Structure 1
Amino acid sequence: WAKETGIDLVQINGQRRYGGPPPGWVGDPPPVGTEVFIGKLPQDMYENALIPLFQSVGKLYEFRLMMTFSGLNRGFAYAKYSNRRGAKEAIAAFNNFEVREGCAIVVCKSTEKCELSVDGLATSVSRQELEAVLRQVTEGVLSITMYVSPCQKRAQLAVLKYSSHQAAAMAKKTLMEGNMRLGGVEMRVDWLNPDLKQKLQSCKEKPSSSRVQGSKCLGVPKQAPLSPVLHNALDHLNTLCQRQYLGTPLFLTKCIQANPNGWLRFWCRVVIPGCPVPFSGFTWVRQDGPGRSGHEEAKVAVALQVLQMLGES
């Protein structure tokens, strides 16, 4: 079907996408309010049936079908139109529409969330430092606003606004899979909750004091203390970067292989704002003892490698 119609489908990170932009598109992407959510799809229904259907009411800018590893769809998709009228027409025409006998789909306005919250930032991290590292590992960040964390003592919370829902979703995936740390402290990345957003609007931005008065949040895990070796390696790298005015290093780690004997293989990246090229590579580590995760071991291994490359070890 794709070859017959000339429609190009690209599969990235669990979704199959058409357009964004489509062939021949000139100008900026459509504004907010042009995307619809499509739910309750039969799992064996694909773009050859869905794209012509949703194109019948307006020009599609993008169509995204969420996929499983087995090749079935996940039961939902997103259609973005060239204008808001197309989205309204799709909702009017296809909400509760039976794509098959007895199978009515749901079509409604997409929320198009574009804001993330990053909680647990050290009070020493500046907005400029955070922006520098985010621009190296994510795309489309528009603004960063810093607050006193309402959930963690002596910590900051950052609200990140991205250019689109897709950019925000990709950033969230990258930061969460990378087990993001800035200054050796693990952060919690999530969509910005409306209740939290309203609460933050009554707070002052970017605190200058490290003393934070905040309410307790349920379900926030306490971090296990690092071993002295980890402290030494991470502190040494942090101190070196601060002394040379390079900014606070950002650690990204992802476990890509686990052996039965306990050895773990990690992909690691260290982004230092003052260095034009990130440090990337692979390392094998072994998780030893309680309170020390494989990610912690990987961070000390890559920190030692970076120190060696900087001539400090």
Structure 2
Amino acid sequence: MWSERINQANKAALLTWVKETGIQLVQINGQRKYGGPPPGWAGYAPPSGSEVFIGKIPQDIYEDKLIPLFQSVGRLYEFRLMMTFSGLNRGFAYAKYMNRRNAREAIALLNNFEIQSGSPILVCRSTDKCELCIDGLAPSLKECHLLPMLQELTPGLLSISLHPSPFRKQRQLAEVKYVSHQAAAIAKKNLVEGSLCLCGDQIEVDWLKPIIKQELHNVSVPDDPETLLSSCSHRGVLSQVFSGPMDCHMLPARGSMLDYLNLQCEQHQLGSPVFFTKCVQRNREGQLRFWYQVVIPKYPSPFSGYIWIKPDPSGLEDHEKAKNAVALQLLKVLGCPVV
């Protein structure tokens, strides 16, 4: 059913567009899908790297606006818009092209495109994530007990492995792998929306981040309790982002690192960095551990990691402090002296 909050004009435009074009949209498992494959498709599915992620979509914008926009770049193999039960979109979608070249062109042409006045969308490379992490499991739980339960609840399960949780004392975290991104996405939806208790434990389900996987498999990750970039491999990657030298002689004070990083990205025509942060831990001293991801529009992959921030009397909101701390570390990795 459509919510009363739905923009009725946009709803009517979508229904008219579907009728006029004859396009088929199928809604299943919290998403509405076109294609996969589209009508008349012959041959193999597109290679990995042919899909883009679309974020920051206004919730009452639908396929009648989105599909023609992304088709203007190249032929679509599949388009998936994530939906709520009320009929609003969830603010993000995926567009899969016939080849990687069209995906790169979509990122270059459509990132920050104003889908409506004052509403620029985010377009970046999509990765085929097939692994979930399930945190909060009892220390007595064995893989041989968890495997059949998950196989019954989530089809497409390939393997599981249990590890001590890096976030909860006396708890375990399960690393769970599925046959495809679609199977993993459906499993995540079912587990999250079901508010499941496995063996009497309230669990948390999320995508398995690369940095968490590194930690689980005992890959050395520096852990500075003040601020850090958790993966030293970023150094080589980040050095490729800026093609020219950094203008470091006018570096501002520490508190405005975020503004300075934005300025550098603007000067190098990379687009404004988009920050995602999530507080995942607080220690006894009150320090906060944040997971972060930074998307630089003209760079094909995001940067992820963890930072610790200390409480201070500055009054700056915790997430803003985390963003400034990440920006500071990015500048350090780029070899820019900071004051």
TM-score, normalising length: structure 2: 0.52
| 1:251-283 C-alpha deviation (Å, 9 max, x unpaired) | xxxxxxxxxxxxxxxxxxxxxxxxxxxxxxxxx
State the secondary structure of the residue aligned to 2:20: helix
> What letter is aligned with 2:177?
K
Q: 1:187 to 1:77 in 2, by over 3 A?
A: closer
**What is residue 108 of structure 2 aligned with on the other side?**
92
Residues 1:42 and 1:193: Cα distance change in structure 2 (over 3 Å): closer
Structure 1 residue 105 corresponds to structure 2 residue 121: yes
Query: Does 2:191 align with 1:180?
Result: no
Question: Aligned residue for 1:201?
Answer: 217
Q: Distance in 2 between matches of 1:8 and 1:53?
A: 17
Inter-partner Cα distance in structure 2 for 1:137 and 1:39: 29
- 1-side partners of 2:182 and 2:282: how far apart? 27
Q: Secondary structure at the match of 1:2?
A: helix
Deviation string 1:116-174 (CA, Å, 9 cap, x unpaired) is 11123344443343222222211232332222333445543210122333322221221
Letter of the aligned partner of 1:132 in structure 2?
Answer: P
Aligned length: 207
- What is the Cα deviation at residue 25 of structure 1? 4.3
Question: Cα gap change, 1:3/1:144 in structure 2, threshold over 3 Å: closer, same or farther?
Answer: same
**Cα distance in structure 2, aligned partners of 1:129 and 1:70:** 37
Residues in 2 aligned to 1:158 and 1:93: alpha-carbon distance in whole angstroms: 39
Query: Could you tell me which residue of structure 2 aligns to residue 137 of structure 1?
Result: 153
Is 1:79 the counterpart of 2:95 in the alignment? yes
TM normalised by structure 1 equals 0.55
1:164 equivalent to 2:183? Answer no
Seen in structure 2, the aligned counterparts of structure 1 residues 119 and 40 have a Cα distance that, compared at 3 Å, is closer
2:74 corresponds to 1:58: yes
**More deviation in 77-86 or 21-30?**
21-30
Equivalent position of 1:148 in the other structure: 164
- 2-structure distance, mates of 1:160, 1:136: 14
In the TM superposition, what is the alpha-carbon distance from 1:78 to its structure 2 partner?
1.6
1:177, 1:219 → 2: CA distance? 26
Which segment drifts farther, 22-31 or 189-198? 22-31
Structure 1 residues 24 and 125 mapped into 2: Cα distance closer, same or farther (>3 Å)? farther
- What letter corresponds to residue 132 of structure 2 in structure 1? L
The residue type paired with residue 5 of structure 1 is T
Say yes or no: does 1:114 pair with 2:167. no
In 2, Cα distance between the equivalents of 1:26 and 1:146? 42
Q: Report the CA distance shift for 1:82/1:124 in structure 2 as closer, same or farther (over 3 A).
A: farther
What is the CA distance between 1:72 and its match in structure 2?
Answer: 4.1
Name the CA distance, whole Å, in 2 between partners of 1:72 and 1:44.
6
Matching of residue 126 in structure 1 with residue 142 in structure 2: yes
Q: 1:146 corresponds to which letter in structure 2?
A: L
Match of 2:101, SS state, is: helix
Q: For residues 7 and 142 of structure 1, what CA distance do their matches in structure 2 show?
A: 34
- Evaluate the alpha carbon distance shift between residue 177 and residue 40 of structure 1 in structure 2; reply closer, same or farther with a 3 A threshold: closer
Alpha-carbon shift at residue 69 of structure 1 (Å):
5.0
Measure, in 1, the Cα distance between the counterparts of 2:187 and 2:210. Answer: 19
Q: Could you tell me how far apart the structure 2 residues matched to 1:200 and 1:105 are?
A: 34
Could you tell me how far 1:201 is from its partner in structure 2?
A: 1.6
Give the AA of the match of 1:82: M
Q: CA deviation at 1:29?
A: 4.5
Instruction: Quote the Cα distance in structure 1 between the aligned partners of 2:171 and 2:119.
Output: 49
AA partner of residue 176 (structure 1): V
Shift of the 132–24 alpha-carbon distance from structure 1 to 2, 3 Å rule, reads: farther
Instruction: Give the equivalent residue in structure 2 for 1:46.
Output: 62
Give me the whole-angstrom Cα distance separating, in 1, the residues matched to 2:204 and 2:62: 35
Q: Identical aligned pairs, as a percentage? A: 64
Structure 1 position 14, deviation (Å): 4.0
Q: How far did 1:70 drift?
A: 5.0
1:96 is paired with a residue whose SS is coil
Which secondary structure state, in structure 1, belongs to the residue aligned with residue 192 of structure 2? helix
Deviation at 1:87, TM superposition (A): 1.1
Aligned AA (2:159): S
In structure 1, stretches of 5+ residues that fail to align are 204-216, 221-313
Output aligned runs, 1:277-288, within 5 Å: none
Q: 2:51 aligns with which of 7, 24, 35?
A: 35
Counterparts of 1:161 and 1:40 in 2: how far apart (Å)?
A: 28
1:74 shift after superposition: 4.1
1:154-205 per-residue CA deviation (whole Å, 9 max, x = no partner) reads 54321012233332222122112333334333333222244322211218xx
Bigger radius of gyration: 1
Partner residue, 2:27: 11
- RMSD of the alignment, in Å? 3.1
Change in Cα spacing, 1:173 to 1:200, as seen in structure 2 (3 Å) is: same
Alpha-carbon deviation of 1:63? Answer: 0.9
Q: Which moved more, 1:86-95 or 1:67-76?
A: 67-76
